[in-house]
Amino acid sequence: MTERLAWYEWLAVLALLASGVVIVRARVSSPPPLPSPPEALPTLMRVEIAEDGRAIARLDDDTLATACRAIGLPDPPRLDGADPVPVRLLLEEMEAWAATRATPPLGRVGRIYQAIEMHGPALACFAALTRLEPDEAVWQYFMGTEAQALGRDDLAIEALEASRRRDPGDATACARLGRLYLERGDLDTAGARYEQCRALQPGRSLGHTGLGRVAARRGDHAAAIEHLRRAVAATPNDFLAYRHLSQTLAAAGDADGARRASERAERLPHYEGWLVFDEKLQASHALARTQRYLENQMRLAAGAGDATRLAELATRLLERRPRDHNTMALLATALIQLDRTEEALETVTGALALKPDGLRLLYTRAQIAAIQRDFDTVHRVLDRTEAIDPRFAPVHELRGRVLFLENRPEAGIAAIETAVTLEPDVIPRRLLLAVMQERSGDRDAAIRTLEATLAIAPDDERARAMLQQLER
């Protein structure tokens, strides 16, 4: 792959290789002396608190660059003002490389650079590692991911194909290759790589989404829609799969279906690109303890309904971003699920002081009022929320539940029906509507709701069991 690297990148790789002299597996025998004893690298950094409460790293970038050159590492990008947690870890691993010239700390330097999206020096580290440990698929893989991030598609394909040959069971490498081939218009190879991804991980959305995109590019909308529906069935929280489904339905002429899929996509947590699918990339972010990793893990925990994990992650992130109202909203949601209502109220009140018109914050405040059976506050806050976005279906569902508790079943059912109309694919909400209809004495309406539910979700055992019970 030497011809694929730019000359200045190859110089960085050569510097890394030369700094070790003799490579013996993961360690260098007899590391050469440094030009001068480097200052302990972690001491180059100090931490300041910014006006918004965030901690930021302060260091002299020129001094760090000089130290990196002395130990054969590529010049770092500007780190002054960055998040101090990964920066400190990076400096510690640089110091470990200086002391040992071993490949493990060099690998960790590359992975921390990767996690903080400094792809140039990360690529230099991984390119050197492919020379030091040529049989390790992971270094080829990471060289490919960094080249892909830099738009170096030829290098990315070469490295990822080399990784796939060494590790044929890596579904994510197949998916990354599928995307690269799709972007350059090689639909046959893209389809083959996405099919390999699907075969390796049939229970995830990644392969089906890719096959749907390939079919859509071929103009086969029926096949594309089938694959994309399988994708959202496999991973109901995959907002990108819903977006592609919406685009394909629109191209096929199904405007209503496209609108519903688009609205569903926008309601779901928005993950950060490959991070949600790529376990090796997740491990790099976990190593670097990046805020982006915590954000994505929070969204995953929220989607999985793991309130304990969500509260833990949100608390950790707020220690680093104390005025982040979005994270405060997620923390409040988790605290509600953990029956810690007073803490949830304190959290959401503080968040609303930062973002008075926050849709999710207002909805969460209404949830707390409902738990406390303060129904006047519920309706007042929901009125504000609905004024901001009248198509936000959870508002109508919560209002329906409260109206039912207030012994106003007709109004409650009407509110739930509005929520179902706005998001017809949310099956638990349809089941709630059927329960309300049956309890209010309208058994026929409940049966019709369950029949309509089974028409769009024929395998839903709860809906079938409820229907069978009503038809006895």
Q: Which amino acid is at 1?
A: M
| Residue 307 CB-half CA count within 13 A | 11
Whether residue 402 contacts residue 410, with contact meaning beta carbons closer than 8 Å, is answered with no
At 33 the pLDDT is 36
38-42: Cβ within 8 A, 24+ apart: 38/67, 38/70, 38/71, 38/95, 38/98, 39/67, 40/95, 41/67, 41/91, 41/92, 41/94, 41/95, 41/98, 42/88, 42/91, 42/92, 42/95
At 17 the pLDDT is 53
Burial pattern 84-106, b for ≥16 Cβ within 10 A else e, equals: bbbbbbbbbbbbbbbebbbbebb
At 36 the pLDDT is 40
Q: Which residues pair with 46 in a beta bridge?
A: 58
The DSSP call for residue 74 is: P
The DSSP call for residue 268 is: S
| Residue 383 CB-half CA count within 13 A | 6
At 206 the pLDDT is 93
- Token output for 171: 């579904």
Whether residue 289 contacts residue 87, with contact meaning beta carbons closer than 8 Å, is answered with no
At 70 the pLDDT is 85
Q: Is 157 helix (H, G, I), strand (E, B) or coil?
A: helix
At 425 the pLDDT is 80
Q: Which amino acid is at 421?
A: T
- Token output for 361: 């914050």
At 358 the pLDDT is 92
How confident is the prediction along the chain (472 residues), in pLDDT tens digits per residue?
444 555 445 555 555 555 543 333 333 333 333 334 344 677 888 888 888 788 888 988 888 888 888 888 888 888 888 888 999 999 999 989 888 888 999 999 999 999 999 999 999 999 999 999 999 999 999 999 999 999 999 999 999 999 999 999 999 999 999 999 999 999 999 999 999 999 999 989 999 999 999 999 999 999 999 999 999 988 888 889 999 999 999 999 999 899 889 988 887 777 667 777 889 998 998 899 888 888 888 877 887 789 999 999 999 999 888 889 989 999 999 999 999 999 999 999 999 999 999 999 999 999 999 999 999 999 999 999 999 999 999 999 999 999 999 999 999 999 999 999 998 888 899 999 999 999 999 999 999 999 999 988 888 899 999 999 998 7
At 349 the pLDDT is 95
- Token output for 373: 């059976």
Residue 239: closest CA among 270, 284, 212:
270
At 275 the pLDDT is 74
At 341 the pLDDT is 95
Whole-prediction pTM: 0.73
Can you list the alpha helix ranges (DSSP code H) found in 289-440?
Answer: 291-304, 307-320, 325-337, 341-354, 359-371, 375-388, 393-405, 409-422, 427-439
The domain locations on the chain are 1-133
Whether residue 396 contacts residue 390, with contact meaning beta carbons closer than 8 Å, is answered with no
* All residues at 6 or more sequence positions from 67 whose CB lies less than 8 Å from its CB, including other chains: 38, 39, 41, 44, 94
